[in-house]
Structure 1
Amino acid sequence: MDEKLSIIIPAHNCEATLRQAVASIYDDLSTEQAAMIQTIIVENGSQDQTPQVAQQIAKVYPQVCLTHSQPGVSKARNQGLKVATGQALLFLDADDYFKPDMVKQVLEHEVKADLLIYSFESGKALKRLFDQAILYQQADKEQLIATMLENPTNYLTVWGKVFRRQLILDHQLFFNEDLRFSEDSLFVLQYLLVAQTALGLPTVLYHYNRAENSAVRSFDEEKVAAYLQALKVVNKLIQTSLPDVLPSFYIYGLMQVNLIGVHGIYDAKNSAAGAVKKAQLRAVVQDPIVAKCLRRTPLTRMRTPKFAAIILLKLHCYALAGKVFALRSRAK
């Protein structure tokens, strides 16, 4: 029997959570349903017992396929794409899981759009992205992309979505292995460019675990440059293919500045002196793309709390903006 779904799990130092992730796929399914799902665990340079745990899992679930890649989540996902055989594709991070009965629901329903976008849980918070099912056709694509750009942490993730594998194959879509951050955003945007339809759903498919050791939440000195590199790549895609949504891209860029401030420059684990952090923040604001995002986004579009530090940057109040970033970092 041909697989209906392929689920790709990058597995890096996840010995404690990998079993739960895989169990969330199969434990609610009949034998016949389980046979229709290919789960691909991509071990990518773990330094714990993840490879051994993966082998044990494969003995329990015969539908699990084990493969390897070099370190890096994009390399792992790309390897999974090469191995996948299902009609539809889902991505699952190894420290997350699917909600009970939700994989069964995806399996039993006909996929009626090129992209299904589900709601999700983030820790204890419910992120219901749609109040009701909404079908986006070709004419609605820019409206959807604008919404996603302005709310990237909710919408521009590859998990919590169902993709058509054939569409990925036809257009040779892969994750950019040069990016450490925002590789999800780029892939989803590239996929939407070739998709004809997307279906937004209020149903909660996915539980996202706000892990403190994730790449976004951990600190290293190269993070700022990595975020800016990713922003430039996304900017090029939008300017080339979606110029009408540039105002929404500018907001996307400012949301990346929030991440740079909270998880980069003013991360609680950054021991640099205050003057050094302030200089780093000024350098980010002076980056040509960031400067354009600040200049082109009017204050009337900054009416929610997430823009507090951004407003201060727009007003050149760098010290106060730094304090806001620092408070948010400690809160997280």
Structure 2
Amino acid sequence: MFLSVIIPAYNCEKTIVRAIKSTGVYLNNQIEVIVINNGSTDNTEMLIKKERKSNKNIIYAESENGVSNARNKGIEMSRGNWITFLDADDCLQNLDNKLRKLLLNIGEGLVIGNYLAGKSIINLYSMTKNKDNCSSIINQMLKNPTKYMTVWGKFYRNDLIKKENIRFNNQLKYSEDSEFLIRYVLLCKQIQFINDNVYNYTLSKDSTVRSYNPQMIYEYEKAIFQIKKDLNKYPEYENSFKIFILMQFNLMMVHNVFIKDNKESIVKLKELCKKDYMNNALNIVKVKDIFTPRLLPLLLCKYHFYVFAASIYKLRVIQNNKNTK
């Protein structure tokens, strides 16, 4: 088997059939699709089993609740030389002969494609400098996690995952993608980019990350500390990891603290900025970063201009809401 596509499925009756068909499983008998029902209460199970009846390479399984448990179950069942992950409301694209040929010529490596996010093309191929240098690529990933550090849109060697026992950390509720990817790329001998869109990501106001969760900050912090532990033996990534922390902080602000705009929001912003891990990370932000949109609110936080930083985060919440309508 050439490729295993792993799809966690939870209450996705409107999109699961489209996701399965996008894998090319009906056109290529060297592709298997492993769909893991993750506690669905709608018609998801029935639809998957209906597709399974018409193609023996569509495999149905169940796991304990949680996307990490579902993906880990898929890894255990996979038979393909390569693994890729697909969310049930998204689609794969361009799994053509060019990609197949590329995968055939790579050993213990990672292949990364461009992707569509809504109507925007995220061209990782053009964004990435020093594509032949794994260390440089990992630094770029850490500095721009929202673009790079998704588990989907990438192709992983199954034998490397299983040999090194790389699995999703089911204790993490957020950034489990990033943590899995970091552990994988630290073991990679080669990272290859393909200048094609291989994935179509659906911007959804119903996604977990875009929904308010009072535990979100605690969960993001837990992931930050775990990734820090993963990188302990690699001092060359220390500065890039600090930028990763700052980018995660931006997510906390936009997806949690300022979703419910009230007097407590600025209090929470100040409180988080005073934590040791944030203080440490804020030290790398310089005045020259004032023209860098991602770093501007963080620069304001560093110099205690919290009201101005809060205004930027409020605007970003409004913009996010517009993008997902």
TM superposition score category, shorter chain reference: over 0.9
Report what 1:115 is aligned to: 110
For residues 1-332 of structure 1, the aligned pairs below 5 Å read 3-26=1-24, 30=27, 34-99=28-93, 101-103=94-96, 105-109=98-102, 110-112=104-106, 114-131=109-126, 136=131, 140-238=133-231, 240-267=232-259, 270=260, 274-301=262-289, 303-332=291-320
Aligned partners of 1:17 and 1:117: how far apart in 2?
A: 24
Aligned partners of 1:280 and 1:178: how far apart in 2?
A: 25
Aligned partners of 2:290 and 2:88: how far apart in 1?
A: 35
Aligned partners of 2:147 and 2:105: how far apart in 1?
A: 22
**1:135–1:197: 8 Å Cα contact kept in structure 2?**
no
Cα distance change, pair 111–76 in 1 and its aligned pair in 2 (3 A): farther
Using the TM superposition, give the Cα deviation of residue 280 of structure 1 relative to its aligned residue in structure 2, in angstroms: 1.4
Which consecutive unaligned segments of at least 5 residues does structure 1 have?
A: none
Using the TM superposition, give the Cα deviation of residue 158 of structure 1 relative to its aligned residue in structure 2, in angstroms: 1.1
**2:145–2:244: 8 Å Cα contact kept in structure 1?**
yes
Aligned partners of 2:264 and 2:173: how far apart in 1?
A: 24
Q: Partner amino acid for 1:288?
A: D
Cα distance change, pair 134–85 in 1 and its aligned pair in 2 (3 A): farther
Using the TM superposition, give the Cα deviation of residue 303 of structure 1 relative to its aligned residue in structure 2, in angstroms: 3.7
Q: Partner amino acid for 2:91?
A: Y
**2:130–2:136: 8 Å Cα contact kept in structure 1?**
no
Cα distance change, pair 253–15 in 1 and its aligned pair in 2 (3 A): same
SS at match of 2:124: coil
Report what 2:323 is aligned to: none
Using the TM superposition, give the Cα deviation of residue 133 of structure 1 relative to its aligned residue in structure 2, in angstroms: 9.6
Cα distance change, pair 103–8 in 1 and its aligned pair in 2 (3 A): farther
Aligned partners of 2:289 and 2:128: how far apart in 1?
A: 27
SS at match of 2:203: coil
Aligned partners of 1:6 and 1:301: how far apart in 2?
A: 43
Which consecutive unaligned segments of at least 5 residues does structure 2 have?
A: 321-325
Using the TM superposition, give the Cα deviation of residue 105 of structure 1 relative to its aligned residue in structure 2, in angstroms: 4.2
Aligned partners of 2:311 and 2:157: how far apart in 1?
A: 44
Q: Partner amino acid for 1:210?
A: L
**1:133–1:201: 8 Å Cα contact kept in structure 2?**
no
**2:257–2:268: 8 Å Cα contact kept in structure 1?**
yes
Q: Partner amino acid for 2:126?
A: D
Q: Percent identity of the aligned residues?
A: 30
**2:130–2:137: 8 Å Cα contact kept in structure 1?**
no
Using the TM superposition, give the Cα deviation of residue 298 of structure 1 relative to its aligned residue in structure 2, in angstroms: 2.7
The 10-residue stretch of structure 1 (103-112 or 258-267) with the greater mean CA deviation from structure 2: 103-112
**1:58–1:66: 8 Å Cα contact kept in structure 2?**
yes
**1:5–1:89: 8 Å Cα contact kept in structure 2?**
yes
**2:286–2:299: 8 Å Cα contact kept in structure 1?**
no
**2:113–2:193: 8 Å Cα contact kept in structure 1?**
yes
Cα distance change, pair 111–326 in 1 and its aligned pair in 2 (3 A): farther
1:239-284 superposed Cα distances (whole Å, 9 cap, x missing partner): x1221111111111110011000001111xx3xx622112211221
TM-score using structure 2 length: 0.92
**1:133–1:199: 8 Å Cα contact kept in structure 2?**
no
Aligned length: 318
Using the TM superposition, give the Cα deviation of residue 23 of structure 1 relative to its aligned residue in structure 2, in angstroms: 0.8
Aligned partners of 2:52 and 2:315: how far apart in 1?
A: 44
Q: Partner amino acid for 1:61?
A: N
Using the TM superposition, give the Cα deviation of residue 300 of structure 1 relative to its aligned residue in structure 2, in angstroms: 3.2
Cα distance change, pair 135–310 in 1 and its aligned pair in 2 (3 A): closer
RMSD: 1.9
Q: Partner amino acid for 1:227?
A: Y
Cα distance change, pair 231–10 in 1 and its aligned pair in 2 (3 A): same
SS at match of 1:194: coil
**2:10–2:39: 8 Å Cα contact kept in structure 1?**
yes
Q: Partner amino acid for 1:262?
A: V
